[in-house]
Structures are given as structure tokens and as C-alpha cells.
Structure 1
Amino acid sequence: MSTTGLEVFDKTLQSTHIWLDEIMEEIGPDRHLAWKVLTTVLQALRDRLPVELAAHFGAQLPLLVRGGFYAGFDPSTMPTRWHTAEEFRQHIAANLADARAVGASDAIDAVVRVLDRHLSPGQVGKVYRALPKQIRELWPDYEASET
């Protein structure tokens, strides 16, 4: 039985809850914080990717998550010039500053693990290879599978 009356909405709600549950397993039981972590990390990834790749990546996300991914989207500023893991972490930390304490590294780890589990390896690989080497090092599970 459909909860919303539209299968596409039911499916995206279910997928989004699964992703948030997996993030909460790592950062604690706060669904609002899990959503903040998910969208913050996805938007930082989006902003570091070439526009065309960001669009292809966004198309792979559940519909509801895709909305968070595109919130505040400004393709004229992409890709950003962050080249180091520290710059990337600082950006994440600044955007999580108004949330309950969760470290930028923990946020990044939680989100990339969800992406590894739910997106195709080909899509994850394209995103991974488009990032500067130092930022790729924040994606340890994928890095290990590449060697």
C-alpha cells in the first residue's frame, strides 16, 4: 500500500530513510543532523566537480536527496579551487558549525560509505577520479578498492 499515493515518492522516501539510518549509525541518532551531514557533504562534492559530472552524479541520487544536492546550486562557481583535504574538511566544518558537534572527517566518512553502498561503482569511480588527489584520500574505502 502506498503511503503518499505516488510510488515515486514512496520509493524516494524509503531510500532517503535508508541513507539517513546508515549515516545515523555512524554519527548518532539524530535524523535532522544526518540530513544536514548528507546534504553538506554532497554539496561540497558537487561544488568541487566539473558541472557536467556533478549533473550526472546528481541524477544517480534518490529524488529527495537530489533536491538537497542541488540546493544552492550555482554552476558559475564550479569547480571550486579546493585542492587539499584540509580545505575540503574546513568547508564541511564551517557548514556544520550550527549543528550538534560532529567532526568534518566523521561526516565525510559517513556519507562516502553510503555512496559506496548505494551508487554504482562506475559512478563513484568517476567522482573519485575527478577529485584532486588529496581530497580523494578522504574516500579511503574506494581508494583501497582501486589498488
Structure 2
Amino acid sequence: MMRQRMQQIEERLKVLREEFRSVAGDDASWREEIGDPTRLLALHARAAAEQAQQWVNELAQDLDWSEQRAYRFLKSVLHTLRDWLSPEEMADLSAQLPALIRGIYFEGWKPSDEPMWERKKIDFLICVRKSFGYELDVDIGKGIRAVFKLLDRHISHGEIVQVRNSMKKSLRHLWPAD
């Protein structure tokens, strides 16, 4: 049975190779257009890293913080926001995040965890504070506003409206005005 399955796989691979050759051609000129696949992957990874770095740099500049502190705070707010949203809204927002920022967003997430039911502004602030740490010189509200402003600059207006509307009015005030 195993041999039969292997033969089926080999036959399917043969068909796929033929289909590829009919589209790409035998001379591999397609490599000139898209480049070496390994190189292409490296270019995409570099672009993703640069985009994530841009977000961190923008937040660091907005708050006049170090990049390391800005990264930690962005992560804390994204995790709290993720846990605050419904699963549908969480997924919709994540679809618009750059690849590495999306990875940060989902880092440590356990789908089986109970969703955050407290929806008061103070509860959101406390969750961010716990996640980020107790640094006395950090104005948590100002930092959250800066992250929300960053999201507002990079995420579609329609998605931001949906996220904002899913929150209590007191928390909506931390988002930039329309």
C-alpha cells in the first residue's frame, strides 16, 4: 500500500513539473524575472523586518523613548488589545498588520484562554501596565494613545472604526479623533 501511495505521489509530481514547465518554460527564464527563490525569501524577510522596525521607530519617536522600550510597549498594548477584542475582530485586525508585527500580536496567545471580559478603561490600562512593567516615569495613557495613533496611521480607517466601536466609550477616547 505504501508503494502504491509513493507511485501516486511521484505521478502527481511529474504532472506538476510538466504544468510548471508549460507555464515557466524549459529555459528557466522565469528565474530572471523573480530571481532565485532563496534570494526572494531573504528579500521578503528583510522587507518585513524593515517594516516592523519602522513601526517601532515611529513609536519611539512619538514617545521620545528608546527603541527597546517602544518595542516592549507596542507588544504590551497589542497583546492587551488582542485579548480585549472578539475573535472575529481580533482576526480582522491581524490581517492588516505587517507580518512581523502580526507575529508579535499573536505571540503567547492561547486560543483556549478565556477572553477578557472586563471592558472598563482602567482595566485596559492595568493590563497594559502589568504586561509592560511598573516604570514610574511612563504615562500609560499617553503611551496607549501613541500606539493607537500608530495603528490609525497604518491600518485601514474602516478597520480602526470597527475596533474602536467594539470598545467602551472611555477607552475610545484614547484613539485619535476622526
| TM-score interval, normalised by the smaller of the two chains | 0.7 to 0.9
RCO higher in structure (CA 8 A, sep ≥6): 1
Gaps of 5+ in 1: none
| Aligned counterpart in structure 2 of residue 6 of structure 1, from 25, 28, 42 | 42
Answering whether residue 92 of structure 2 is matched by residue 56 of structure 1, we say: yes
Looking at structure 1, the residues matched to 40 and 70 of structure 2 have their Cα atoms a distance apart, in angstroms, of 23
Counterpart residue number, 1:87: 123
Name which one, 1 or 2, has greater alpha-carbon Rg: 2
Looking at structure 2, the residues matched to 9 and 91 of structure 1 have their Cα atoms a distance apart, in angstroms, of 31
The answer to whether the 8 Å contact 1:116/1:124 transfers is: yes
Looking at structure 1, the residues matched to 50 and 136 of structure 2 have their Cα atoms a distance apart, in angstroms, of 25
The answer to whether the 8 Å contact 1:83/1:132 transfers is: yes
Counterpart residue number, 1:37: 73
Looking at structure 1, the residues matched to 70 and 103 of structure 2 have their Cα atoms a distance apart, in angstroms, of 15
Number of aligned residues: 140
Looking at structure 1, the residues matched to 122 and 134 of structure 2 have their Cα atoms a distance apart, in angstroms, of 20
- After superposition, where does 1:94-105 map in structure 2 within 5 Å? 94-97=130-133, 101-105=137-141
TM value normalised by structure 2: 0.71
Counterpart residue number, 2:173: 137
% identical aligned pairs: 29
Counterpart residue number, 2:142: 106
- Give 1:98 deviation, angstroms: 5.6
Answering whether residue 118 of structure 2 is matched by residue 69 of structure 1, we say: no
CA pair 110-96 structure 1, distance change in 2 beyond 3 A: same
TM value normalised by structure 1: 0.85
Gaps of 5+ in 2: 1-38
Aligned AA (2:163)? V
RMSD: 2.1
The C-alpha deviation readout for 1:97-142, integer Å capped at 9, x for no partner, is 1668422112201111110101111111111111122222221x1x
| Aligned counterpart in structure 1 of residue 152 of structure 2, from 110, 116, 120 | 116
Aligned AA (1:56)? D
SS of equivalent to 2:72: helix
